[in-house]
């Protein structure tokens, strides 16, 4: 009898867990309506480019490169004035934001217009810091389509009026794994918002309308 009760509890917990994941996914997916193509966006003061893997040689991965190329297209079209690259720069041997900075500089983006967020360790931190540190209230978010609903949901949670631009320029290796992982990432995002989780780091306010070089690493 006890085994049956334990089994029922486990099954019930499993069903509730699955239901919770699906509900949180639906909450996030409401933001799909704000996903646009480059030619469809209204002007915004800044594009937020979310970090992704950097190769061992310091070059952006395919996913990250396509985000940067999309931001460059927006910049050249006059759809944005500044670019905030937000990623993981928490280890000496791994640096997403300077890889992004160098790529943008090579594409002739004005150095003044490139801002670095060195503590964008995940999408939640990136959006929290975009608002709380950089004072951003309106932006275009640049990332792949599978990632955009969560990024836009988090932008909204931190008071950022955001449009999302699809950065997909190819079919990515492992994309099905990324899409599946996004289900749980959506759930974590909703929980973080509900409990007002603090980002890993905040810091002094930075004027994103000024000179982006104030955010660059000394000597780089």
Length of the chain as a residue count: 220
The first and second tokens of residue 118, run together, are 């060195």
In whole angstroms, what is the distance from residue 207 CA to residue 219 CA? 21
- State pLDDT tens for residues 136-165: 999 999 999 999 999 999 999 999 999 999
Q: Are 64 and 50 in contact (CB under 8 A)?
A: no
Q: Are 199 and 124 in contact (CB under 8 A)?
A: yes
Q: Structure pTM? A: 0.91
Residue 19 is predicted with a pLDDT of: 76
CA-angle at 219, arms to 68 and 62, nearest 5°: 20
In this prediction, residues 189-201 reach a mean pLDDT of: 95
The fraction of the chain above a pLDDT of 90, given in percent, is: 72
Residue 39 is predicted with a pLDDT of: 87
Q: Are 45 and 139 in contact (CB under 8 A)?
A: yes
In whole angstroms, what is the distance from residue 108 CA to residue 130 CA? 24
């Amino acid at each position: 009898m006890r085994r049956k009760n334990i089994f029922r509890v486990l099954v019930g917990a499993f069903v509730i867990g699955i239901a919770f994941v699906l509900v949180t996914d639906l909450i996030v997916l409401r933001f799909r309506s704000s996903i646009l193509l480059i030619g469809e966006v209204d002007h915004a003061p800044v594009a937020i480019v979310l970090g992704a893997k950097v190769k061992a040689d310091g070059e952006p991965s395919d996913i990250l490169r396509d985000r940067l190329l999309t931001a460059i297209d927006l910049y050249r079209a006059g759809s944005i004035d500044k670019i905030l690259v937000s990623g993981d720069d928490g280890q000496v041997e791994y640096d997403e934001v300077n890889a992004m900075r160098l790529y943008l500089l090579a594409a002739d983006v004005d150095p003044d217009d490139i801002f670095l967020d060195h503590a964008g360790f995940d999408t939640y931190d990136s959006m929290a810091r975009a608002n709380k540190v950089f004072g951003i209230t309106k932006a275009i978010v640049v990332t792949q389509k599978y990632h955009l609903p969560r990024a836009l949901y988090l932008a909204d949670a931190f008071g950022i009026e955001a449009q999302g631009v699809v950065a997909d320029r190819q079919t990515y290796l492992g994309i099905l794994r990324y899409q599946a992982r996004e289900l749980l990432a959506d759930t974590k995002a909703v929980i973080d918002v509900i409990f007002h989780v603090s980002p890993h780091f905040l810091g002094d306010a930075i004027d994103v309308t000024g000179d982006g070089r104030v955010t660059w690493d000394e000597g780089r």
